[in-house]
Chain A
Amino acid sequence: MAAKFDLTDNGLVVIVGSGAGGGTLGHELARKGIKTVILEAGPRYEMEDFVNDEWESFAQLAWTDMRTTSGNWRVARDFPNLPAWIVKAVGGTTVHWAGASLRFQEHEFKTKTVYGSVKGANLLDWPLTLAELEPYYAQAEDKMGVTRTHGIAGLPGNNNFKVFQAGAKKLGYQEVHTGHMAINSEQRDDRGACQQIGFCFQGCKSGAKWSTLIAEIPKGEETGNLEVRPQSHVIKIEHNAAGKVTGVVYVDKDGAVQRQKARAVAVAGNSIETPRLLLNSATSKFPNGLANSSGQVGKNYMRHVTGSVYGIFERPVHMYRGTTMAGIMRDEARHDPSRGFVGGYEFETLSLGLPFMAAFLNPGGWGRGFTTALEAYENMAGMWIVGEDMPQEKNRVTLDPTAKDKMAMPVASVHFDDHPNDVAMRAHAWRQGQAIYKAVGATKTMSTPPYPSTHNLGTCRMSEKPRDGVVNKFGQTHDIPNLFISDGSQFTTGGAENPTLTIVTLAIRQADNLADMMTKKVV
């Protein structure tokens, strides 16, 4: 039975955001007996509310609050107010994600040491190692039901995967399979089995795909220690004269301003909203925003090297039938500078429906070249690139100087320039992707540019030394002991892997440590 806590209860842990980080942290704290409130900006939809219609679903779920952009990335030109495709609803972006659950590789935690100095890149080693995270990765994989772990069978391959697998194998690639997916191939943990619906991005209507909405939050609520308040948009975090946070200010579903007291605050609003909140919480004591003595809040924004390759074949593929992303090739994820760049990338199968294909195949494109490609939709196969992009200090989230939201708060502005390493990696990936499809008879291949970012990372990064980042190895901010970051903003580097598994892993570990700190009364 879900809890209901008082606004004046200053013994609570208050979590901002209910996604992979916030939702998991909420459940883990609640089951340890710690009273927790999650404040989620968006509404609460359940599985029945999801729609198998791309644009209708986008209108329902996507974060479309005003944001501005700048920099040489194409997203700023094609989608100037939509830098990211993430979710504003209970469950956060775990409602939308495709389920790909990969562990970081060992060297990706120490890129400064392993890659060395890369000009223009703000590389830094994480203050933790893969070995330290391994027990938590295992817990996360069990919690999420990741295929090919814990004895869980892989998902069956759909048509899109068959084409991808055949092409990759023809080129001699070795590690090709239907992925490590947080999608039940069979019934498990009270969740159904995958029905190959093919609308993973629009919210899973079978419950097979793990999300904090259907897994973590209900379990947390059952303990009686977790309350989730939807349509509660946090606009400021408050602190006392001693510099400790005392609570948050939020706007509720009726537009009224509320103040929730807190013993500790964990921010998990995804990597654009989280630094925005810290910056918007500036006071005379903290004129540059909270937890920002390093000046790194909002900086080192990463979005992964992404892009897609689509191939057109002589015969139908119907790539949209079935799971959107259950297919992977991992050979290129290794670090191998002989290819002309540091870091690596994964290839994952991907499909878009016709409506989204028209929007994203070649944003701004028109004429016969475009329509000829689109007419071959039935015969298309598709893949997506996920690669390690270089953290750059100048890639950052700041407060827009003029634009304000409905609550009169400055909106987030996202600046991004590609690093030469990113460009080289993407070019390599496009070439290899095209080669994969050509190897099995594609008559035409097309490279598409990055979509509005679904992976957003690094803006409150972990660091050993306070001057290099915002949080320590437990996501505790260097400056304020009872202020934590719990989402992908913590990532010191992006790795070549989809971030959700690592976010969940860090949240489980953060819960252990936060509970310990609370027992010892240091928080």
Chain B
Amino acid sequence: MSTVLLIFCVLAAVSVGTAFMTIFSKNPIHSAIYLVICFFSIGFQYLLMNSQFLFIVHLIVYAGAIMILFLFTVMLMNLNKEDEVHKPRITRWAAVVLFILSCIVLIAIFIQSKPIVGPYDTTGEDYQSIKVLGKILLNEYMVPFEFASVLLLVAMIGAVLLSKKEKS
């Protein structure tokens, strides 16, 4: 068992475990913390695959921005201690069944397609450093890049408008 594989397994276990904890924990703040840990583990997966830029961006965007937003919202609504009524029992069992079902379906597709998993070759050249990514982003993918900026602008305006207080 090589080191890399070990690291991968640990990270994978952390990801899955914290994901489950996110869903099952009663306190929303705890859920948020677990989710942050999940994001961190996935970020380290990126780092394992030598994509440093994405690792940084992932941490900044997800753990830094998105989770902060979540926490702010949770605190705004004072959901600190939550005694939430659970869904009806049958619904919860149905959810479990669907969980297993979707797992089976997706894995079955993969197995049935019998992919030819060939030798993992390296071209040797650098394909994912920030320099290369920047070049591609601003050459071939410039239009989606600009549109992404428009998207973020619209989202910002939308968020401001939607959460305005009515003058009553």
A and B, one complex?
A: no
